[in-house]
């Protein structure tokens, strides 16, 4: 088994477990606050790791700019929509909509990096669309609403995340000696800049809110940020350095299975028939990605 497959699976497991914490604090405070917290805590972790175990690699201005912009778009703006969707749809259903990402990244990988777009990725989009329709029908039966708002927010977050992935891959291509940790540091700085700009228009009250938490809540915030951002991104960017974009994004959808499991265990949300049907379409889509 290729190493990037194990790295990708590990990254998705860590992120899926952390989404339970992200969802809780997005509901308790806001998605912007939680996103700022996880980016800031992860940035400190990356900085400490690099000072302790690595030497700073000389990188071009273009390389730094690409990492910074990818963090601004993907980790900053994109994850605001992602965490907002967690609050509306739940982590499992949100990550299921990321089934469209392999098709998007596969097409862009073909255009930008001359990576082949296999038949399996084209077939898989049919199953992922069926998955989307199933989730819409479930929302309609429950709330008499098609859940368009939540799904639109999730798909927007997915699109911005995909753009960030493309920029990050290009940055690694022009900076072959750069470690994943240093790339993540620059990306986190880009994400933090989003919230610095936002604070001029709408204060996040980051420190005062954190101080108001109990010791247990502070611990969960730090643990979730380390697990879902520092560790998850460390594994993911290491895989991204060598993996095929479409294939790696296909592996990323395993986060749906992990997240649905953790959602049922920790949030006490009983799986519905519609969710099982959607997971069936999801598995067929994954099979198409892997088999063809």
pTM (predicted TM-score): 0.81
> Over the stretch 220-239, which tens digit does the pLDDT of each residue have?
999 999 999 999 999 988 88
CB 151 within 8 A of CB 37: no
CB 167 within 8 A of CB 69: yes
CA angle 191, 222, 248 (to 5 degrees): 55
| Whether pLDDT at 113 is above 60 | no
Average pLDDT, the chain: 83
- Domain span at residue 72? 3-291
Please state the domain count of the chain.
Answer: 1
Number of Cβ within 10 Å of residue 227's Cβ equals 19
What span, in angstroms and rounded, lies between the C-alpha atoms of 238 and 259?
22
Q: How confident is the model at residue 107 (pLDDT cuts 50, 70, 90)?
A: low
DSSP 8-class letter at 55: -
Among residues of the chain, what percentage have pLDDT more than 70? Answer: 78
pLDDT at 256: 67
DSSP letter for each residue of 137-181: HHHHHHHSS--HHHHHHHHHHHHHHHHHHHHHHHHHHT-TT--HH
Among residues of the chain, what percentage have pLDDT more than 90? Answer: 38
């Amino acid at each position: 088994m290729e190493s990037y497959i194990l790295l990708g699976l590990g990254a998705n497991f860590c992120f899926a477990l952390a989404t339970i914490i992200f969802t809780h604090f997005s509901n308790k405070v806001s998605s912007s606050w939680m996103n700022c917290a996880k980016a800031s805590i992860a940035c400190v972790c990356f900085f400490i790791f690099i000072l302790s175990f690595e030497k700073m690699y000389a990188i071009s201005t273009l390389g730094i700019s690409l990492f910074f912009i990818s963090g601004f778009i993907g980790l900053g703006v994109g994850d605001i929509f992602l965490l907002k969707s967690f609050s509306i749809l739940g982590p499992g259903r949100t990550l299921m909509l990321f089934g469209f990402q392999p098709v998007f990244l596969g097409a862009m990988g073909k255009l930008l990096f001359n990576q082949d777009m296999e038949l399996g990725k084209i077939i898989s989009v049919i199953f992922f669309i069926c998955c989307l329709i199933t989730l819409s029908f479930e929302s309609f039966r429950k709330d008499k609403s098609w859940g368009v708002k939540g799904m639109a927010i999730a798909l927007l977050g997915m699109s911005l995340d995909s753009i960030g992935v493309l920029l990050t891959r290009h940055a690694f291509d022009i900076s072959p000696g750069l470690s994943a940790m240093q790339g993540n540091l620059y990306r986190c700085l880009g994400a933090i800049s989003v919230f610095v700009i936002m604070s001029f228009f709408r204060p996040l009250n980051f420190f005062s809110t954190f101080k108001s938490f109990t010791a247990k809540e502070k611990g969960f915030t730090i643990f979730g940020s380390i697990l879902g951002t520092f560790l998850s991104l460390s594994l993911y960017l290491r895989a991204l350095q060598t993996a095929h974009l479409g294939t790696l994004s296909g592996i990323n959808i395993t986060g749906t299975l992990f997240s649905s499991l953790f959602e049922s265990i920790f949030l006490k949300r009983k799986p519905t028939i519609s969710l099982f049907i959607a997971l069936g379409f999801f598995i067929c889509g994954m099979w198409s990605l892997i088999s063809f």
